[in-house]
């Protein structure tokens, strides 16, 4: 009996060690398939910069005239991003048509983000970004970067296993990824193997902790072709949505 119990204990210990290893291999395989679908690691590493033009709309559900009503359109905008991926720098030129709250006006300015600081330039001159603003700006660049998954290749310990995650009505395979000091959840399209969404868990001042997703259009995320189309950065909380579409 003691001999049988010792064998059972050894088997349980071995199984407990194998299961995390298998799960980690599954996470690494998700990354490998996604990178291959994007054109391969060599193609991604050869991608040094991007020029992007797009448009955006901003709504505020909190300004609806009735509870649960249509959100209020605040602004429409166009933007141009010049992005130096190799050196971690980006310049975004904004042309914003502000509609609400009054006064209605046109706003034009340029945001410049460097690895450790940033500044905003308009017709009055330039001024530095606050620490919070540049941190948020750099995180969103990290989130949207077509080379994000190379961080997982270069540092396998940055990848964590996760169960399937919900995106709309879909349940998709996912990993956690630490990149640039930020924790992202990357959801993958089961058919194309491309990233479907990149998620963060952030505080909402009304609804508390909420998921915020950068949803990626299928078939655009390839280093060998043009930069992907970006869907809305949206939240599980019914709050303001920023919906840029980049081409």
CATH classification number, 26-246, choose in 3.40.50, 3.10.110, 2.50.20, 2.90.10: 2.50.20
pLDDT for the residue 205:
81
pLDDT for the residue 138:
95
pLDDT (average), residues 191-212: 91
pLDDT for the residue 238:
45
What are the boundaries of each domain within the chain?
Answer: 26-246
The yes-or-no verdict on residue 242 having pLDDT over 60 is no
**Cα-trace Rg, the chain:** 22
Question: What does the pLDDT look like over 101-146, one tens digit per residue?
Answer: 889 999 999 999 999 999 999 999 999 999 999 999 999 999 999 9
Phi, psi for 20 (deg, rounded to 5): -60, -35
pLDDT (average), residues 40-50: 95
> What are 143's two structure tokens?
């989130």
pLDDT for the residue 103:
92
Segment among 157-161, 165-169, 209-213, 233-237 with least mean pLDDT: 233-237
Residue of 70 and 33 predicted with greater confidence? 33
Alpha-carbon distance 59 to 63, whole Å? 9
What mean pLDDT, rounded, does the chain reach? Answer: 84
Question: What does the pLDDT look like over 141-152, one tens digit per residue?
Answer: 999 999 999 999
pLDDT for the residue 63:
80
Residue of 124 and 15 predicted with greater confidence? 124
State pTM to two decimals.
0.80
pLDDT for the residue 233:
55
Using alpha carbons, list the distances in angstroms from residue 147 to 39, 50, 200, 229.
11, 12, 18, 15
Alpha helix (H) residue ranges in 105-245 = 131-144, 150-154
Which residue in 241, 229, 233 sits closest to 53, CA to CA? 229
Question: What does the pLDDT look like over 165-196, one tens digit per residue?
Answer: 999 999 999 999 999 999 999 999 999 999 99
pLDDT confidence tier of residue 88, bands split at 50, 70 and 90: very high
Q: Which residues lie across from 121 on neighbouring strands?
A: 110, 126
- Residue 214 and residue 230 in contact, taking contact as beta carbons nearer than 8 Å: yes
Residues in Cβ contact with 214 at an 8 Å cutoff, skipping those fewer than 6 apart: 143, 144, 197, 198, 199, 230, 231, 233
Strands 182-188 and 118-122, by their bridges, are unpaired
> What are 160's two structure tokens?
């964590």
Phi, psi for 141 (deg, rounded to 5): -65, -40
pLDDT for the residue 60:
84
Percent of the chain surpassing pLDDT 70: 79
């Amino acid at each position: 009996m003691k001999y049988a119990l010792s064998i059972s204990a050894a088997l349980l210990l071995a199984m407990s060690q194998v299961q995390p290893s298998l799960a980690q291999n599954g996470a690494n395989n998700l990354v490998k398939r996604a990178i291959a679908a994007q054109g391969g690691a060599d193609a991604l590493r050869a991608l040094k910069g991007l020029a992007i033009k797009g448009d955006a709309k901003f709504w505020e559900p909190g300004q609806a005239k009735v509870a649960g009503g249509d959100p209020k359109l605040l602004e429409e905008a166009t933007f141009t991003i010049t992005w130096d991926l190799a050196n971690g720098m980006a310049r975004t030129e904004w042309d914003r048509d502000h509609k609400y709250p009054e006064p209605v006006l046109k706003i034009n300015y340029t945001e410049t983000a460097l690895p450790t600081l940033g500044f905003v330039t308009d017709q009055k001159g330039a001024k530095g970004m606050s620490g919070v603003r540049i941190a948020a700006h750099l995180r969103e660049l990290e989130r949207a970067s077509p080379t994000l998954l190379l961080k997982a290749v270069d540092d396998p310990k940055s990848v964590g296993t996760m169960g399937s995650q919900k995106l709309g009505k879909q349940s998709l395979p996912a990993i956690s990824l630490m990149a640039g000091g930020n924790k992202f959840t990357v959801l993958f399209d089961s058919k194309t193997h491309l990233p479907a969404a990149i998620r963060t868990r952030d505080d909402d001042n009304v609804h508390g902790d909420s998921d915020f997703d950068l949803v990626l259009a299928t078939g655009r995320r390839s280093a060998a072709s043009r930069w992907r189309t970006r869907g809305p950065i949206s939240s599980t909380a019914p709050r303001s949505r920023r919906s840029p579409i980049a081409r």
